[in-house]
């Protein structure tokens, strides 16, 4: 055959191949748009396309890319213009070559890299301030595919097509789940054959009860069976479900169809505290296991008086600072992370943002000036300096303590008349407060000056300390601390004080007694409001157990002394 004949055969073959490839134009689709790149916009925008055909290649010669106002002819970038069956094509900005390497390690070798003849994608690059429509146009001028991207992506996260075979709607596109997108590779949001994921997680606490609601969705194209769902407390913060952390386990009884969701609920009980709740879907066939786990924080609130407001210095001397002492009465360690304090303005001030465990019977000092630590260096580890420590009024105010759920835990409304400058007020017992009687004027981080010790077991009766006592405002032995133990677990109690002539001078209010023990304080003042004279007094306690119809009485003597 002559050379002219050979050239004719080659020409005819090329023409036929080209026509064959072009006839498959309807199989090429838009699959990814990077309009807000992490790198320079002048070089790092890209558009990804895909050939849906499993057998036919597509010749992209003559194809154009448009943003609705300008059109750019596709141009080969050293790899030709034929997009093979099931092959991705990545259309890069012309300035990418030689100016950027952002996607070099991401674009697979099997992907076809292309560029355009213009200087930018579209008329002036893809806009980040308004949505634009990207169009793929064949050599005949027909729009073969288009997509109007949505704004709001994180920088460096493209818009990706989910299902390549479904209708091209806005619902079929999502923000890329990975930084820089997936140029030339399967999309991070692409529909898989097998893909279970957690689409919803909610944790709610009701007292000590925990309610966990979760929704498992079959995001794959095929039926999913033989899977399980684990509910757990991530106590060791390893993001894995350990056997000793499990709360509930669900094992599938029937397959879950594609697109269907399965709502589940786990009810459990936890002790008070902050917890990270994890839910894990275990499905061996899952092709995208990254969405098989979800976590949520939840707080199980504390009961009232779990932490006590124990001492307050609200009227300090000029060389002192306001402070509040908290106390953990036990028996468990309590973390103060996320707790709040407030005064009578009810402006809640967070105490600490990090874990701060308070051991049983441990004290914590809250203050607004780090100079407090210089004065009490031994309390450095037990002191929290609050930037917005509330300004406590000297005449009257209220201090409130809240847990992380902003549930009130303790409070005290004080009066300035309770104390004098430089002398703190202390919790004596229950909700009764008195001025500190320590010679130092306060006892931060230590046992209160007014403190009742536990009476010996089964020794019923009255105990008074100090005896004698001297309520003469010298800061020493100002209060008679009265405690009693009775043979009833519950009783109503009444405590009377008589002088040596048998005249009633004071009746002390004692609350309903629970646990067989009670406390009271006497400040040396009569019911009339006058100071009681020095001398010997008789304390008479009467208790009644209404359920058993039993009465018990106890008495002891007390000496009141004064220095005039």
Backbone phi, then psi, for 339, in 5-degree steps? -75, 165
Q: Which of 435, 469, 485 is the last residue of a domain?
A: 435
Are the C-beta atoms of 383 and 402 separated by less than 8 Å?
Answer: no
Report yes or no on 488 lying in a domain.
yes
Same domain, 81 and 131: yes
Q: Would the pTM of this model clear 0.85, i.e. be above it?
A: no
Q: Which backbone phi and psi does 171 adopt, to 5 degrees?
A: -70, -15
Check residue 72 and give its pLDDT.
92
Per DSSP, what are the bridge partners of residue 518?
484
Q: Read off the tokens for 29.
A: 């689709």
pLDDT score of 517: 76
Are 207 and 295 found together in one domain? yes
- Count structural domains, the chain: 4
Please check whether residue 452 lies inside any domain of the structure.
Answer: no
- Nearest partner of 140 among 67, 64, 69, 70, judged by Cα: 64
| Helix%, strand%, coil% for the chain, nearest 5 | 10, 40, 50
Sheet containing 480-485: give its strands across: 461-465, 480-485, 517-522
Could you tell me if 282 and 317 lie in one domain? no
517 close to 504: Cβ distance less than 8 angstroms: no
Q: Verify that 170 and 62 share a domain, yes or no.
A: yes
Domain co-membership, 102 together with 60: yes
Q: Tell me the pLDDT band of 15, cut-offs 50, 70 and 90.
A: very low
| 58-108 confidence digits (pLDDT tens) | 999 999 999 888 899 999 999 999 999 999 999 999 999 999 999 999 999
For residues 497 and 331, give the distance between their C-alpha atoms in angstroms, rounded to a whole number: 36
Q: If we measure between CA atoms, which residue out of 562, 504, 496, 508 comes closest to residue 535?
A: 562
What's the chain's Rg over C-alpha atoms?
A: 39
184 assigned to some structural domain: no
Asked, for residue 151, whether it belongs to a domain, the answer is: yes
C-alpha to C-alpha distance for 102 and 184, rounded to whole angstroms: 13
Buried b (16+ CB within 10 A) or exposed e, 24-55: bbebbbbbbbbbbbebebbbbbbbbbbbbbee
What CATH number did the domain enclosing 479 receive?
2.60.40.4070
**Alpha carbons 311 and 304: distance in angstroms, whole number:** 17
Residues 291 and 346 in one domain: no
The pLDDT-based confidence of 213 (bands split at 50, 70, 90) is very high
Residue 106 shares a structural domain with residue 11: yes
Distance (Å, whole) CA 468 – CA 396: 32
Note down the domain range covering 475.
Answer: 461-560
Does 397 share its domain with 258? no
Same domain, 408 and 520: no
Query: Is 187 among the domain residues?
Result: no
Assign residue 129 the CATH number of its domain.
Answer: 2.60.40
- Rounded CA-CA distance 174/166 in Å is 14
| pLDDT tens digits, 291-339 | 899 999 998 889 899 999 999 999 999 889 999 999 998 888 999 999 9
């Amino acid at each position: 055959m002559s050379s002219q004949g050979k050239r004719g055969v080659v020409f005819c073959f090329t023409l036929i191949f080209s026509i064959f490839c072009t006839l498959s134009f309807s199989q090429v689709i838009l699959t990814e748009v990077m309009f807000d790149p992490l790198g320079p916009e002048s070089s790092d925008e890209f558009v990804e396309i895909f050939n849906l055909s499993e057998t036919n290649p597509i010749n992209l010669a003559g194809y154009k890319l448009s943003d609705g106002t300008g059109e750019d002819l596709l141009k080969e970038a050293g790899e030709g213009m034929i997009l093979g069956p099931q092959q991705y094509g990545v259309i890069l900005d012309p300035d990418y070559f030689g100016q950027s390497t952002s996607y070099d390690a991401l674009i697979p070798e099997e992907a076809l890299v292309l560029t355009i003849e213009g200087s930018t994608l579209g008329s002036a690059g893809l806009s980040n301030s308004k949505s634009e429509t990207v169009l793929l146009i064949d050599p005949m001028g027909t729009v073969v595919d288009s997509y109007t991207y949505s704004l709001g992506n994180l920088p460096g996260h493209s818009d990706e097509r989910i299902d390549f075979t479904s209708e091209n709607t806005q619902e079929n596109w999502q923000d890329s789940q990975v930084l820089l997108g997936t140029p030339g590779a399967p999309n991070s949001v692409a529909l898989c054959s097998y893909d279970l994921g957690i689409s919803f997680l909610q944790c709610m606490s009701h007292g000590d009860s925990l309610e966990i609601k979760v929704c498992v969705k079959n995001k794959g194209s095929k039926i999913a069976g033989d899977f399980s769902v684990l509910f757990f407390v991530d106590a060791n913060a390893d993001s894995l479900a350990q056997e000793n952390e499990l709360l509930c386990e669900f094992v599938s009884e029937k397959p879950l169809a594609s697109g269907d969701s399965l709502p589940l609920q786990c009810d459990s009980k936890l002790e008070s505290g902050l917890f990270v709740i994890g839910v894990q879907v275990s499905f061996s066939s899952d092709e995208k296991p990254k969405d098989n786990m979800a976590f949520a924080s939840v707080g199980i609130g504390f009961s009232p008086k779990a932490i006590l407001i124990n001492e307050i210095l609200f009227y300090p001397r000029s060389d002192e600072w306001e402070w509040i002492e908290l106390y953990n009465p036990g028996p468990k360690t309590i973390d103060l992370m996320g707790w709040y304090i407030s005064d009578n303005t009810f402006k809640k001030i967070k105490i600490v943002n990090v874990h701060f465990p308070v051991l049983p019977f441990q004290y914590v000092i809250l203050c607004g000036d780090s100079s407090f630590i210089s004065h009490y260096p031994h309390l450095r580890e037990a002191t929290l300096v609050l930037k917005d420590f509330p300004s406590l009024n000297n005449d009257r105010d209220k201090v409130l303590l809240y847990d992380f759920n902003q549930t009130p835990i303790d409070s005290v409304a004080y009066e300035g008349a309770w104390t004098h400058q430089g002398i703190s007020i202390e919790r004596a017992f229950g909700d009764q407060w008195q001025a500190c009687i320590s010679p130092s004027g306060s006892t931060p981080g230590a046992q209160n000056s007014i403190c009742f010790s536990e009476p010996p077991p089964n020794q019923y009766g009255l105990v008074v300390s100090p005896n004698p006592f001297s309520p003469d405002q010298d800061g020493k032995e100002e209060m008679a601390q009265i405690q009693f133990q009775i043979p009833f677990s519950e009783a109503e109690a009444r405590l009377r004080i008589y002088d040596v002539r048998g005249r009633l001078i004071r009746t002390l209010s004692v609350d309903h007694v629970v646990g067989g023990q009670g406390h009271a304080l006497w400040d040396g003042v009569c019911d009339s409001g006058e100071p009681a004279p020095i001398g010997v007094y008789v304390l008479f306690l009467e208790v009644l157990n209404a359920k058993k119809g039993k009465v018990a009485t106890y008495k002891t003597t007390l000496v009141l002394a004064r220095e005039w």
